[in-house]
Amino acid sequence: MKKTLLTTLFITTLLTGCANSPKTTTDLINTWAVSSIDGYTQPIDALTTKPQLIINKNLNVSYSGCNTLTGKIRVTAQDITTKNLVSTQKMCIQTEQATVDGFVKQMLTGPSNFLVNNNTLILSSDNHTVTFKRVENK
């Protein structure tokens, strides 16, 4: 509980501290792997392959989980949303993968606040926070 409170406080501080800094779409363009949900690495640690979020220079987004999500990101001064988000309709068993996919879909349909800090992308709403780590190109 203490760890969750500290993580939430840290993320809130980051988002509040950066509220006045301009947000650029250039920072979003990359491949991101889901690393935590609400400060917890479970259920992500249980996945053999980490789901990835790819944002290209045209702000097209695709997410690879049990279902694939695609759409176009719209960024405003306050938040990020995805227009025309389309999803495949696989019958995903309610596992860790389905849980992670649900949180990412919720963040993408937004509106969600976002922060890019070095190799980290944080998407947050009033209820949840999903953190991504930049995927290193090999």
pTM: 0.76
104-107 contacts at long range (C-beta below 8 A, 24 or more positions apart)? 104/34, 104/51, 104/53, 104/63, 104/65, 104/69, 104/130, 105/63, 105/69
- The full set of domains in the chain, from first to last, is 2-134 (2.40.128.270)
Q: How many residues does the chain have?
A: 138
Q: What is the pLDDT of residue 8?
A: 47
Please report, in tens digits, the pLDDT of each residue of the chain (138 residues total): 445 544 444 454 444 444 444 467 888 999 999 999 999 998 888 888 888 999 999 999 999 888 889 999 998 877 888 888 898 887 777 678 888 888 898 888 889 999 998 899 999 998 999 999 999 765
Which residue, 109, 102, 101, is CA-closest to 80? 109
Give, in order, the Cα–Cα distances in Å from 41 to each of 4, 34, 35, 45, 130. 11, 9, 6, 6, 10
Ramachandran area for residue 79 (φ above 0: left; ψ -120 to 50: alpha; else beta): beta
| Amino acid type, 23 | K
pLDDT in tens, 75-108: 887 788 888 889 888 777 767 888 888 889 888 8
Instruction: Give alpha helix (H) positions in the chain.
Output: 2-17, 96-109
Q: What is the pLDDT of residue 2?
A: 45
DSSP state of 112: B
